[in-house]
């Protein structure tokens, strides 16, 4: 019930695990459709070669190559990306299967390295080329830098709104189950929890 991967073997195990890794990265970049439970059958088993597994393989391969390249160039972002890579590997189901298939709480440590890497890359993109400050002590930002910082502020604002609205779903078990079962109607546990709440309330 908690982790269907326990019964998976070979390419199905690898394919499903890569798909889950891709979902973790997607949630960090675009935190939408958050649910409190990812057990059976929120994420169906799939073989290696499926779209999700190939996306996961491609994304993490790029990250691994970038981490190696950046570390050899002594860039701190390479260390952050490598740390993210190794920390999330603990929950990748490869090579050791965990007791849970997927959980947002498992991203606590990896998300720290993700944010640090993102902050490092943002700093590089927003960095000015002036080595000497003007007389007024302020550097003039280029048009790209202005738009980049505005976009960053907008993303931070939207993520803050998402956090506030998501918190409302946790007001009660009833509200949480009903909100999440609408997003993943195939979840056995969320359907069971929602039905139990309705039964106890005498609905």
Give residue 24's pLDDT: 93
Q: What is the per-residue DSSP string for 29-69? A: HS--S--S---TTSS----TTSHHHHHHHHHHHHHHHHHHH
d(CA 101, CA 4): 7
Beta carbons within 8 Å of 80's beta carbon, 6+ residues apart: 113, 116, 117, 120
pTM for this structure?
0.83
Query: pLDDT tens digit string along 26-80?
Result: 999 888 888 999 988 888 888 898 999 999 999 999 999 999 999 998 888 899 9
Give residue 174's pLDDT: 87
Give residue 97's pLDDT: 85
For the chain of 203 residues, list the mean pLDDT of each consecutive stretch of 10. Answer: 83 91 92 88 88 93 92 90 91 84 90 90 68 55 78 89 90 89 91 88 72
Beta carbons within 8 Å of 70's beta carbon, 6+ residues apart: 77, 78, 79, 81
């Amino acid at each position: 019930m908690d982790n269907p991967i326990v019964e998976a073997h070979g390419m199905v195990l690898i394919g499903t695990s890569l798909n889950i890794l891709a979902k973790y990265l997607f949630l960090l970049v675009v935190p939408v459709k958050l649910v409190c439970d990812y057990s059976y059958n929120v994420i169906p088993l799939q073989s290696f070669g499926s779209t999700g597994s190939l996306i996961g393989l491609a994304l993490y391969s790029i990250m691994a190559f970038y981490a190696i390249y950046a570390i050899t160039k002594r860039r701190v972002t390479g260390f952050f990306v490598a740390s993210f890579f190794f920390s999330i590997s603990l929950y990748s189901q490869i090579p050791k299967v965990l007791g849970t298939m997927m959980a947002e709480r498992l991203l606590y440590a990896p998300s720290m390295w993700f944010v640090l890497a993102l902050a490092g890359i943002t700093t590089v993109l927003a960095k000015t080329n002036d080595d000497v400050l003007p007389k007024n002590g302020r550097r003039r930002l280029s048009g790209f830098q202005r738009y980049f910082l505005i976009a960053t502020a907008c993303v931070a604002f939207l993520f803050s709104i998402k956090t506030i609205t998501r918190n409302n779903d946790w007001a009660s078990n009833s509200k949480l189950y009903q909100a999440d079962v609408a997003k993943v109607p195939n979840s056995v546990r969320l359907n069971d929890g929602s039905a139990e709440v309705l039964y106890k309330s005498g609905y």
